[in-house]
Structure 1
Amino acid sequence: MASQQGTVDYVIEQLQRAGRVSARKMFGEYAIYCDGKTVALICDDQLYVKPTAAGRAFLGEPQDGFPYPGAKPHFLIAGDRWDDAEWLSTLVELTAAELPLPKPKPARKPKK
Structure 2
Amino acid sequence: MASDLNFVEYVRDQINEAGQVSFKKMFGEYAIYCNEKVVALVCDNQLFIKPTDGGRSMIGSVVESPPYSGAKPYFLIGEQVDDRHWMTNLIQLTASELPTPKPKKSKSKKAKN
- Give the TM bin, normalised by the shorter chain: over 0.9
CA deviation after TM superposition for structure 1 residue 68, in Å: 0.7
SS of the aligned residue for 1:24 comes to strand
Q: Distance in 2 between matches of 1:84 and 1:103?
A: 32
How many residues were matched structurally? 111
CA deviation after TM superposition for structure 1 residue 94, in Å: 0.3
Q: Distance in 1 between matches of 2:81 and 2:59?
A: 14
Instruction: Give the RMSD, CA atoms, in angstroms.
Output: 0.9
AA aligned opposite 1:62 = V
Correspondences of 1:82-97 after superposition (within 5 Å): 82-97=81-96
Q: Distance in 2 between matches of 1:45 and 1:108?
A: 35
Gaps of 5+ in 2: none
Correspondences of 1:51-70 after superposition (within 5 Å): 51-70=51-70
Q: Distance in 1 between matches of 2:69 and 2:82?
A: 28
Q: Distance in 1 between matches of 2:105 and 2:20?
A: 24
Q: Which has the larger radius of gyration?
A: 2
- TM superposition outliers: structure 1 runs of 4+ over 2 Å: none
AA aligned opposite 2:93 = L
Name the structure 1 match of 2:27.
27
Tell me the TM-score normalized by structure 1: 0.96
Tell me the TM-score normalized by structure 2: 0.95
Gaps of 5+ in 1: none
Q: Distance in 1 between matches of 2:13 and 2:23?
A: 11
